[in-house]
Amino acid sequence: MQLKVTNSPFTEEQAELFNRLLPTLSPAQIQWLGGYLAFYSAGASSAAGSETSVAIEAVSAVQEAPAAAVIEAPKDATILFGSQTGNSQRLAGKLAEKLKGQGVQVTLSSMNQFKTNNLKKAGHVFVLVSTHGEGDPPDNALTFYEFLHGKRAPRLEETKFSVLSLGDTSYEFFCKTGQDFDKRLEELGAQRIVDRADCDVDFDETASAWIASVAGALSSSAGATAAPASAAASAASVSLDGESEYSRVNPFKAEVLENLNLNGRGSDRETRHLELSLEGSGLTYEPGDCVGIYPQNDPALVERIIEELKWNPEEPVAAGKSGETVSLRNALEHRYEITVLTKPLLEKAVAYSGNEKLAELVKPDNKEQLKAYINGRDLLDLLRDYAPWTIAPKDIADLLRKLPPRLYSIASSYSAHPEEVHLTIRKVQYEAHDRERNGVCSVQASERLEPGDKLSIFIQQNPNFKPPVNPETPVIMIGPGTGVAPFRAFLEEREELGVTGKSWLFYGDRHFVTDFLYQTDWQRMLKDGVLTNLDVAFSRDTKEKVYVQHRMLEKAKELYQWLEEGAHVYVCGDEKHMAHDVHAALLTVIQQQGGKDSEAAAAYLAELQEQGRYQRDVY
Q: Which residues are annotated binding-site positions for FAD? A: 339, 406-409, 430, 439-442, 619
Minimum distance from residue 497 beta carbon to another protein (Å): 22
Judged by beta carbon, residue 325 or residue 542, the one nearer another protein is 542
As a whole number of Å, the CA-based R_g of the chain is: 26
Contact residue for another protein among 172, 308, 521, 581 (CB under 8 A): 521
> How does DSSP assign 543-580, residue by residue?
SS---HHHHHHHTHHHHHHHHHTT-EEEEEE-IIIIIH
From the annotation, which residues make up the binding site for NADP(+)?
539-540, 545-549, 581
Minimum distance from residue 266 beta carbon to another protein (Å): 9
Judged by beta carbon, residue 336 or residue 522, the one nearer another protein is 522
Mask: binding to another protein, 97-116, rule CB under 8 A, as x and -? --------------------
Judged by beta carbon, residue 260 or residue 392, the one nearer another protein is 260
Query: Which is nearest to 455 in space by CA: 489, 483, 425, 478?
Result: 425
Minimum distance from residue 519 beta carbon to another protein (Å): 5
3-state secondary structure 36-71: HHHHHHCCCCCHHHHCCCCHHHHHHHHHHCCHHHHH
Judged by beta carbon, residue 487 or residue 522, the one nearer another protein is 522
Strands 454-460 and 290-294: antiparallel
**Sites for another protein among residues 255-294 (CB under 8 A):** 260-265, 273
Q: Does 517 bind another protein (CB under 8 A)?
A: yes
What DSSP state is assigned to residue 75?
A: P
Contact residue for another protein among 55, 534, 602, 606 (CB under 8 A): 534
From the annotation, which residues make up the binding site for FMN?
130-133, 166-175
Return the ∠ at Cα 287 (arms to 534 and 281), rounded to 5°: 140
Q: In what order do the strands lie in the sheet with 614-618?
A: 533-538, 503-509, 475-478, 568-573, 614-618
Stretch that binds another protein, among 115-123, 292-300, 341-349, 530-538 (CB under 8 A): 530-538
Q: Does 451 bind another protein (CB under 8 A)?
A: no
Minimum distance from residue 171 beta carbon to another protein (Å): 34
Q: Does 544 bind another protein (CB under 8 A)?
A: no
Q: What residues form DSSP beta bridges with 109?
A: 80
Q: Does 52 bind another protein (CB under 8 A)?
A: no
Q: Does 523 bind another protein (CB under 8 A)?
A: yes
Distances (CA, A) of 343 to 170, 390, 396: 7, 20, 16
Mask: binding to another protein, 392-431, rule CB under 8 A, as x and -? ----------------------------------------
> How does DSSP assign 369-402, residue by residue?
HHHHHHTT--HHHHHHHT--B---GGGHHHHSPB
Give the 3-state secondary structure percentages of the chain, helix then strand then coil, rounded to 5. 45, 20, 40
Q: Which residues contact 307 (CB under 8 A, 6 or more apart)?
A: none
Judged by beta carbon, residue 226 or residue 536, the one nearer another protein is 536
Residues lying near another protein in the complex (CB under 8 A) are found at 260-265, 273, 512-514, 516-523, 526, 534-536, 541-542
